[in-house]
Amino acid sequence: MNTKVLRNLSYGVYVVSSMDGERPTGCTANSIMQITSSPPTLAASINHDNYTNSCIKKTGMFSVSILCEDVNPGVIGHFGFQSGKDVNKYDDTPYEMRSGVPVVKSAGSYLVCKVVDSMETSSHTVFLGEIIDADILENGTPMTYAYYHNVIKGKSPKNAPTYIPEEEKKMSGEKAIWKCTVCGYEYDENKEDVAFEDLPEDWKCPVCLQPKTKFEKV
């Protein structure tokens, strides 16, 4: 079975957030869909391993920040490849509190939901949320998951419902592929004009903003 066909389904790129006591936290998500229009409800699929999952269960509230194509890719990496248990993700991310939960300030729009039901799968919780607040923050084209993969060349976090283990790529010639050990982004010297080792020392991963020291040769 070719599971890559699942990527032909329509997905967006979002930051789903909740509160951890007095501390805001969140994670990157792509599986969000509207369920009903009256009352307006949506479903959000969050991995059991995401710290945000337990925070949503405790508070019964979550927000969905809808990211646009022009968002800094570091936002996606920041929320997607670190655990809120270990990192205060909102310390370096401007946000606003809307109806008691955080919303990424650079998002194009947002929704705030009250959990009304949930369903457990082997790896994810599907939260059914009634929308109690929503607004457009700025004009912009909502980012699709296809845009994230094909244009930004981003990778799927292992906790994402759409994660597919990437096949090992072969090196061609003397050039190499360098892989970020945090998010999986690959710098392919066969496609770039500059060898990885010749990049400036302050160069960072375009997806998760980690330094060169976090890369290893494939």
pLDDT tens, 68-108? Answer: 999 988 899 889 888 888 889 999 899 999 999 999 999 99
CA dihedral 58, 63, 64, 68 (to 10 degrees): -140
- What are the tokens at 186? 């690959």
pLDDT at 171: 37
The reply to whether 177-217 shares the fold of 11-150 is no
User: Any idea which fold 177-217 has?
Assistant: Rubrerythrin, domain 2 (2.20.28)
Closest residue by Cα to residue 18 from 164, 127, 163, 140: 127
One-letter amino acid at 142 equals: P
pLDDT at 174: 61
Report DSSP state, residue 177: E
For the chain, give the longest Cα–Cα distance: 60
Distance of CA 123 to the CA centre of its chain: 17
pLDDT tens, 8-52? Answer: 778 899 999 999 999 999 999 999 999 999 999 999 999 999 999
pLDDT at 167: 40
> Per-residue confidence at 192, pLDDT binned at 50, 70, 90?
confident
Closest residue by Cα to residue 73 from 182, 207, 204, 209: 207
Provide DSSP, 87-137.
--GGGGS-EEEETTEEEETTSSEEEEEEEEEEEE-SSEEEEEEEEEEEEE-
Nearest-angstrom CA–CA distance, 16 and 147: 19
- What are the tokens at 164? 């597919």
Nearest-angstrom CA–CA distance, 47 and 158: 9
DSSP 3-state assignment of 9?
Answer: coil
User: Any idea which fold 11-150 has?
Assistant: Pnp Oxidase; Chain A (2.30.110)
Q: Is 92 exposed, middle or buried (0-12, 13-18, 19+ CB in 10 A)?
A: exposed
Q: Where are the domains of the chain?
A: 11-150, 177-217
